[in-house]
Structure 1
Amino acid sequence: MVIKTLTHLGYFGLVFLLASVVPAGFLGDPGAAKTAVLVVGVLGAWRYSWAAINFTRAIIFRRIVYPRWKRQRQARFDADPRPSHCYFMVTTYMVDVDITLEVYRSIFRAAAAARDGATIVASVVDGKDARLIRDIFQTMPVDMTGTKLIIDRISSKGKRDAMAKALRILAQLGPSHRDILVFVDGDTVVPENIWAASAPVFTDPKVGALTTDEGAVIGKEGLYKDWFHLRFDQRQVMMCSMGLANRVLTLTGRMSVFRASLATNPGFIEGVDRDYLNHWRLGRVDFLTGDDKSTWYWLLKNGYQTAYLPDVRSWSYEEQPRDTFLESAQVLMTRWFGNMMRTNGRAIRLGPSRMGFFTWWSILDQRVSMFTTLVGPISVAVTAALGTPVVIPLYISWVLMTRYVFCAYIALFRGGQWFPVTHPPILYFGQVVGAAVKTFVFFRLDRQKWTRQGAGAKVVLPAGERVKRLESTAMHVLAISWLAMIIMLVNTFE
């Protein structure tokens, strides 16, 4: 505790030192004032007010609305004697044995705890995984008589194909609208009470799916672990905000729960198996990754709500995919934000009447914020290049202070734990580098790759593909150049 206190005191000492470098009266200079207005003025007020709105909504949901909803849903469920069977669909590929043991034990415990029985379809590629899963099932120290295990051995054609095959197997079992279906990744530990917590939510016929809080299991200390923990803490705040509208912005592939009759609908399965985007320049883009966005979009398009359970948490094992933190963050953000951007445009086109104005505006903000977030650092770089380098320490001190306040709020919302001093700069890193990655994938929606895929041999692209990539690069450079030019004009305008 003493060391943590000293590091935080040192952090504030650095903020004070940076601010003290700025000459007195600097902000009164007309040129610097214009930059300050641009950086922390109109755009800053917009971004901070948007954060304040989401923080406020999150508190209202977590403290007031959700407890009331939970009581109402439970009362409706208790009053209806019809059974609610719990189905599980698990996809396992290239997961360590120790993790597979922990994950499937958690799934079998959750299945055994389901009051009205459970059925598990495990989709595996490796025969060793199939044998291991059967052994775990047969040696569970709890009563498994009400649980059925089906292992679907498949060829390695990708996660979407595996999910579609498993869903077709489940469809043959004829699940009812009262039954639930838990989608689980092979590296995610399922909470034992997932059926008890989820089944009452589906007493509302408008609800098509739900997702829960998430935690990360990362053994090695360092920036990668701090980054993931901060991301999940931020996620809790944003999900609670969106939960107030009963429409979250993603149904995480690690673990989400669906109304079983909807998840086995032929149209839903087709959306998982063969989702695609018709792009005006890139042509047809078949989705490889982003199955969680496909399931979310199908429900959104068909008018179903998607709920959030802030008091139920799954735990996923997260391994650093590359040697360094920067490489790992870039790889993961490219995949995550690529999935987001491929679905973002078509979701916006559904309009606010389909999902409510706040949800629609939040989806629109995903696209707008990738450019507005870059205005601050570009403005500072332009101002420094034009002869006012002292703006750099001022901006850094402002960033360190404001992000510290954000992290303090996020930590208080999570329960008041003391956050590491690395969180504020990591938060800024995630915002700015994340925005830059979003602009990259926005112009390259056809580029997608699973994190566990290796680099592989260099592929010689056809002439048409090379032209597309040159077009993507040209349009990306042009967009950023226009943004920088506008900022430069504002800074030089008298």
Structure 2
Amino acid sequence: MILYLLLLAAVLLHAPDALYRPEARSFIFIIGVVGIWRYGWGLVHFVRALIYKHRTFPRWRRYLDRLLAALDDPEGAPDTGAHAAFAAEAESLDRPAAFMQMRHADPGSDRPHPASHGHAAGAALAADLLPDAYIVVTAYRVGTETISAVFRAAFAEAQDYGRPVCIVASVVEMADQRHVKRLFQTADLDPRVRLLLVRAPPTGKRDGLALALRTVARQAPARDSAVILMDADTILPPGSLRTTLPFLRLLPHVAGLTTDEDSVVAGSRLMHHWHRLRFAQRQVLMCSMALSSRLLTLTGRMSVFRSQVAIDPGFIDAVRDDVIDHWRLGRIKLLTGEDKSTWFWLLKHGMKMIYVPDVRVVTIEHPPSPWFLSASTQLMTRWFGNMLRASGRAIALGPRRIGPFTWWCLIDQRVSMWTPLLGPLAAGFYAVLVSPIFLYAYLAWVLLTRLVQTLMLLPFRASVSGAYPLLLYYNQVYGACVKTYMLFRLDRQRWTRQQIEIGRIDPHPWRRQLRAAGSLYVHLLALTTLVAAVGYLTGLLTWPAEFDLAGL
């Protein structure tokens, strides 16, 4: 960070005098106006995230901690006033009618509600606080060391949880099945911890996850049990089950939740910083979205669902065989993005989601290439493709169904793939039209604004890196290029580790070539429109005289 600050100071202190001329200041003003939407919207997320992380969620956490403490000391259970306060907090999340009907469909359920009265009610609630758990882990072509670390952590968590836990391992290769079974046999676990092994075909994560969920359904889980879906590269930290799963009992209107993430990257230092920056930004966005009790994804790395949701046949079908319809590309079968399918199913049914910002799972990242540009491009292609394939149909649900803030955030995802390109285009046009000095002005602007954006991550992370400002710009501008590329090629899907892909394989080569030509045409048309609009706004391009309405 010190080197970055020295670079910024050098750029500002050694700026040419021409940079401070009126026309240069007007350029900076134009760049500021172009960016005011982005920075203003970012500030909204920042403030909302602060409110959720430092005010709303800590109240929930304190209440839950008191209930957990009451498991050992019933006299310390929250009293009537605390129950009423928490009930009011929960009610403010605007319960969806469809899920509440599902919740209350069982007339034999006598679980105490948080609004029950007295210390006795609090003690009863504390005793019923921890739901039974089913941990579903999907593994395919994951290294043996990674699988060992993941399942040992899962077994340890199941042992310490204190309630029945069933671990369902969905594996493809016999070697993985034997390895997981051996790890379980040598773990010396209580009888309440069980292991079920499911062999899945090597056709992608969706089939393996659907088979595992059907296995859970056959176990007839108790109502409101917790089903954890996680990848075989995700390590559960100690105490994570006890600090997350009780929220399903305390907030009966919540159907799913996810947690914070951090990473251990088996790659270059630059790739390590890139992943950590991504998770820091994710923390801000998730906290902001959680204030509206909906999220923009329920990550496949580790998410928790209520059992009656996870074993619903419609939910399982959405995981196994999800499709979208595109006006030009036709029906697209979804290969990747099963976490977007589960998220959309909850969104479509009006169900609520929350975020647990103080529990951080650790993911073991293996970049698909040793080269940063290649690895980041492959990963962004998959992530942004999943995002774009999911957001279109979510937007179609409308603001009434999913909430105005969530709906507008989905709209903003579509807008934000174009706005980062306006700055460099405008700087380039001004450099051609007036003077190359505007490239210097743009450099100073980028260095300053990305430093501010980096510092805004400090309330959510203990430290930031001096590489973050430059990586932010890389993510914004190059990421926008990848997003716009994928916007017109939604049929391109690929698992980077398993080397499974669809979109380029078609029994009719002419049809594949026709789709590719159509994608290239509409992509170039959109980029040409963007360049022409920026050129006109900067004065480099002008309307032909015959189009001048003032002269008519």
- Indicate which of 59, 70, 78 corresponds to 1:68: 59
Q: 1:489: which partner in 2?
A: 536
Pairwise CA distance, 1:220: 4.2
Give me the whole-angstrom Cα distance separating, in 2, the residues matched to 1:78 and 1:235.
36
- Indicate which of 11, 15, 21 corresponds to 2:8: 15
Q: Once structures 1 and 2 are overlaid, which stretch shifts more, 311-320 or 80-89?
A: 80-89
Q: 1:232: which partner in 2?
A: 279
- Indicate which of 433, 437, 443 corresponds to 2:482: 437
Q: Are 1:36 and 2:28 matched, yes or no?
A: yes
Q: Are 1:285 and 2:285 matched, yes or no?
A: no
Q: Are 1:196 and 2:242 matched, yes or no?
A: yes
- Indicate which of 113, 132, 140 corresponds to 1:85: 132
Q: Are 1:53 and 2:44 matched, yes or no?
A: yes
Is residue 34–residue 491 contact of structure 1 (8 Å, CA) maintained in 2? no
Give me the whole-angstrom Cα distance separating, in 1, the residues matched to 2:123 and 2:45.
33
Q: 1:353: which partner in 2?
A: 400
- Indicate which of 287, 296, 304 corresponds to 1:257: 304
Is residue 321–residue 334 contact of structure 2 (8 Å, CA) maintained in 1? yes
- Indicate which of 276, 284, 300 corresponds to 2:347: 300
Give me the whole-angstrom Cα distance separating, in 2, the residues matched to 1:50 and 1:426.
20
Is residue 267–residue 370 contact of structure 2 (8 Å, CA) maintained in 1? no
Give me the whole-angstrom Cα distance separating, in 1, the residues matched to 2:375 and 2:310.
33
Give me the whole-angstrom Cα distance separating, in 1, the residues matched to 2:431 and 2:498.
41
Q: Are 1:209 and 2:256 matched, yes or no?
A: yes
Is residue 19–residue 394 contact of structure 1 (8 Å, CA) maintained in 2? no
Can you list the C-alpha shifts for 1:388-431, whole angstroms capped at 9, x where unaligned? Answer: 2111121112111211121122134213x2x2221110111011
What is the identity, as a one-letter code, of the residue corresponding to 2:40?
S
Is residue 86–residue 114 contact of structure 1 (8 Å, CA) maintained in 2? no
Is residue 218–residue 225 contact of structure 1 (8 Å, CA) maintained in 2? yes
Query: Superposed, which structure 2 residues align to 1:277-426 within 5 Å?
Result: 277-415=324-462, 417=463, 419-426=464-471
* Superposition CA RMSD, Å: 2.1
Pairwise CA distance, 1:73: 5.3
Is residue 204–residue 500 contact of structure 2 (8 Å, CA) maintained in 1? no
What is the identity, as a one-letter code, of the residue corresponding to 2:57?
Y
Aligned with 1:174: secondary structure? coil
Pairwise CA distance, 1:87: 0.3
Is residue 55–residue 241 contact of structure 1 (8 Å, CA) maintained in 2? yes
- Indicate which of 421, 424, 427 corresponds to 2:472: 427
Give me the whole-angstrom Cα distance separating, in 1, the residues matched to 2:273 and 2:25.
35
Q: Once structures 1 and 2 are overlaid, which stretch shifts more, 346-355 or 292-301?
A: 346-355
| Change in CA separation of 1:309 and 1:459 when aligned onto 2, cut-off 3 Å | closer
Aligned with 2:324: secondary structure? strand
Higher RCO structure (Cα 8 Å, ≥6 apart): 1
Can you list the C-alpha shifts for 1:349-371, whole angstroms capped at 9, x where unaligned? Answer: 11111222111111111111101
Q: Once structures 1 and 2 are overlaid, which stretch shifts more, 238-247 or 339-348?
A: 238-247
Pairwise CA distance, 1:15: 2.1
Aligned with 1:410: secondary structure? coil
Can you list the C-alpha shifts for 1:150-209, whole angstroms capped at 9, x where unaligned? Answer: 101222121101111111111111223320001010111012323212222112222111
What is the identity, as a one-letter code, of the residue corresponding to 1:24?
D
TM-score (norm 1): 0.93
Q: Once structures 1 and 2 are overlaid, which stretch shifts more, 45-54 or 10-19?
A: 10-19
Give me the whole-angstrom Cα distance separating, in 2, the residues matched to 1:339 and 1:215.
21
Q: 2:190: which partner in 1?
A: 144
Pairwise CA distance, 1:384: 1.8
Q: Are 1:169 and 2:219 matched, yes or no?
A: no
Pairwise CA distance, 1:114: 2.5
Q: 2:521: which partner in 1?
A: 474
Q: Once structures 1 and 2 are overlaid, which stretch shifts more, 403-412 or 209-218?
A: 403-412
Q: Once structures 1 and 2 are overlaid, which stretch shifts more, 281-290 or 244-253?
A: 244-253
Pairwise CA distance, 1:316: 0.7
Is residue 35–residue 491 contact of structure 1 (8 Å, CA) maintained in 2? no
What is the identity, as a one-letter code, of the residue corresponding to 1:52?
L
Pairwise CA distance, 1:385: 2.7
Can you list the C-alpha shifts for 1:195-230, whole angstroms capped at 9, x where unaligned? Answer: 212222112222111000001012444211110011
Q: Once structures 1 and 2 are overlaid, which stretch shifts more, 130-139 or 185-194?
A: 185-194
Gaps of 5+ in 1: 1-7
Can you list the C-alpha shifts for 1:249-272, whole angstroms capped at 9, x where unaligned? Answer: 111111111111101100000000
Give me the whole-angstrom Cα distance separating, in 2, the residues matched to 1:297 and 1:102.
31
Aligned with 1:309: secondary structure? strand
What is the identity, as a one-letter code, of the residue corresponding to 1:451?
T
Give me the whole-angstrom Cα distance separating, in 1, the residues matched to 2:372 and 2:443.
22
Q: 2:545: which partner in 1?
A: none
Give me the whole-angstrom Cα distance separating, in 2, the residues matched to 1:285 and 1:34.
47
Q: Once structures 1 and 2 are overlaid, which stretch shifts more, 234-243 or 66-75?
A: 66-75
Is residue 21–residue 393 contact of structure 1 (8 Å, CA) maintained in 2? no
What is the identity, as a one-letter code, of the residue corresponding to 1:200?
P
Q: 2:76: which partner in 1?
A: none
Q: Once structures 1 and 2 are overlaid, which stretch shifts more, 372-381 or 276-285?
A: 372-381
Is residue 125–residue 154 contact of structure 1 (8 Å, CA) maintained in 2? yes
Aligned with 1:119: secondary structure? strand
Q: 2:83: which partner in 1?
A: none
Q: 1:274: which partner in 2?
A: 321
What is the identity, as a one-letter code, of the residue corresponding to 1:440?
Y
Pairwise CA distance, 1:93: 0.6
Give me the whole-angstrom Cα distance separating, in 2, the residues matched to 1:319 and 1:101.
16
Pairwise CA distance, 1:22: 4.2
Give me the whole-angstrom Cα distance separating, in 1, the residues matched to 2:390 and 2:38.
23
Is residue 99–residue 187 contact of structure 1 (8 Å, CA) maintained in 2? yes
Is residue 170–residue 200 contact of structure 2 (8 Å, CA) maintained in 1? yes
Pairwise CA distance, 1:468: 0.9
Give me the whole-angstrom Cα distance separating, in 2, the residues matched to 1:282 and 1:86.
41
Is residue 136–residue 212 contact of structure 2 (8 Å, CA) maintained in 1? yes
The percentage of counterpart residues that share the same residue type is 41
Pairwise CA distance, 1:28: 4.2
Q: 2:152: which partner in 1?
A: 105
| Equivalent residue pairs, number | 482
Give me the whole-angstrom Cα distance separating, in 2, the residues matched to 1:125 and 1:453.
11
Aligned with 2:194: secondary structure? strand
Is residue 288–residue 449 contact of structure 1 (8 Å, CA) maintained in 2? yes
Give me the whole-angstrom Cα distance separating, in 1, the residues matched to 2:64 and 2:329.
45
Give me the whole-angstrom Cα distance separating, in 1, the residues matched to 2:500 and 2:368.
12
Is residue 85–residue 114 contact of structure 1 (8 Å, CA) maintained in 2? no
